[in-house]
Homo-oligomer: A and B are copies of this chain.
Amino acid sequence: MASDHTRNAILAAAERLYADRGFGDVTLRDIVAEANVNLAAVNYHFGSKDELIAELFVTRSLATNRERLNELKAAEEKGGGRAGIDAILHALVGPTLRGCLGPDREGSTAARFMIRASIESVPPIRRIKNREVDHLRKFIAAMRRSLPGRDDSELYWGLHFALAMSHHTIREKERLTKLSEGQCDLNDVQAIVDRVVAVSVMALTGAGATSKASAKPVVPHGRLTRQDL
């Protein structure tokens, strides 16, 4: 494979254009123009437009998942096989939030691309996301070890809400900035991660963790449980 130059140029141009203008607005002709390659090169190297998009997303998504598992593994080793629930959640939402919200100008194309993918959810990407369940189960398993005896459904809800808060923050960061007139600092990624983790921990260990409705009374101040470490 001579040099991969054309292939890589297509990938780079596609990611940049999709990130900037969205999937619905970018055609193969736009991409090949940006990449300075021939139109047919896309189908030659990737087979189809959808496979190109899939490859872009898989690459970024695998990187995030690997980061997640690395952090999880490190946390569990540190705790002798059982990580604290906040460390587990940190490993879950940290990489995604840092990847998409971080002000690292270098990887910002990848970040903006992942934000797009989160917002627009085009078919080839949705197909890949559906396979993400196995990956999430590893976190459920870790949470089960960390909070033994807890009802499984509570763990699922906790993980679900953690992902909800992080993804929604990524997806709606502009609206939150506008709504709060800048009072919510979307640049302090570390603070956001801590905040999402804190609320998720409360969802899992706080009063809400009952099986039925029961919407328990408001928790008094200063009640965050930060175990481990």
Contact = CB atoms under 8 A, between A and B. Distances in A.
Contacts of A207: 198, 202, 221-224
Q: How many copies does the complex hold?
A: 2
Contacts of A63: 227-229
A51 interface: no
Interface stretch (A12-20, A27-35, A39-47, A211-219): A211-219
B164 A86 contact: no
Interface in A91-144: 91, 94-95, 119-123, 129-130, 132-133, 136-137, 140
Given A224-B207, A228-B63, A202 B219 contact: yes
A178 interface: yes
A219 B205 contact: yes
A42 to B, nearest CB: 20
A30 B165 CA distance: 37
Contacts of A94: 221
13 contacts: A70-B225, A75-B221, A78-B222, A86-B215, A90-B219, A153-B185, A161-B168, A164-B164, A194-B216, A198-B206, A199-B199, A206-B223, A216-B226
The 7 A-B pairs with the shortest beta carbon distances in the complex, nearest first, are A74-B222, A164-B168, A207-B224, A191-B213, A194-B215, A198-B208, A156-B180
